[in-house]
Amino acid sequence: MTLALGALLGTGLLLVAAPFLWPRTRGKARSRTPGRLRANLAQAGLGSLPLPAFVALSVVLGLAVSALSQALLGIAALSIVTALAGLSLPTLMVVWRVRARRRANRAVWPDVVDHLVSAVRSGLALPDSVGSLAGAGPLSTRPAFAEFAREYQATGNFGSAVDGLKVSLGDPVADRILETLRMAREVGGSDLTVVLRSLAAWLRQDAAIRSEVEARQSWIVNAARLGVAAPWIVLLLLASRPEAAVAYNTSAGVVVIVGGLGVSVVAYRLMVALGRLPEERRWFK
């Protein structure tokens, strides 16, 4: 009876925290997992990696880590936990790389806009101005703009080349810049340089504010990581003793490990949700 009440209470708390841990997207429905995974691989610079190969790598890593854990510790429940950790590790690394690239690119987008303004004012056509960033833009964005220049030279279709560039860059700020250029290309007007300058000033201000806030809130994320890792390190140290391994192989030991896994995941997600700034959404995919 006590176990049932505890499970019911935990389910209720999880349902209460669910809107904050997994907020529902508005507007377009959230894409399915394969689509999100392909988008993350592209944004992480791994767009050439086939999705089946990535999934196979994750499965092999999970099985290898689980087999190693079972061979060293001999605890079935802990082997399952390590298998899940190994299975999710490549995906977590890809997500981490996507966020790292977005943070790095946040500082270069104002320079990209400045280069565009200079190119437009020098008299270059808009497609040529965008293509010139393959040689004059920041190093991290040059390959994507070089691909844009090749596609535009091959097809002559500015809209299609811009769509491909948005996929290559995979950044909400880049989407905003490119949609501004698309509108200027289709509608025309003489205020493009004014709009781009205002956008560059806003991007610099936003990057400065975000950097300051992230520096002040980084201790929350680090505390969450330490709080999640510490109990499992202690568990691994205890599991190295034969008598502890025997205890954790019982039904009560399985409940302790599985319950600890659930608490760790919920607590970590909650701490990260509280300490991380919301990421900009891509409205112009």
User: Which of 87, 91, 96, 56 has its CA nearest to residue 69?
Assistant: 87
Ordered per-residue pLDDT tens for the chain, 285 residues: 455 545 555 565 555 555 555 555 444 444 456 667 777 777 677 767 788 888 888 889 888 988 888 888 888 888 888 888 888 888 888 888 887 777 777 778 888 888 888 888 888 888 888 888 888 877 878 888 888 889 888 888 888 888 888 887 877 888 888 888 888 887 766 677 888 888 888 888 887 887 777 777 777 777 777 888 888 888 888 888 888 778 888 888 888 888 888 888 888 788 777 766 666 666 666
Taking the model in full, what pTM does it have?
0.62
Question: CB-based contacts of 253: which residues, under 8 Å, 6+ apart?
Answer: 75, 77, 247
Q: Tell me which residue of 226, 285, 205, 221 sits closest to 35, measured CA to CA.
A: 285
SS3 at position 207: helix
Cβ atoms of 274 and 221 within 8 Å: the answer is no
Q: How far apart are CA 31 and CA 216, in angstroms?
A: 33
3-state secondary structure of 45: coil
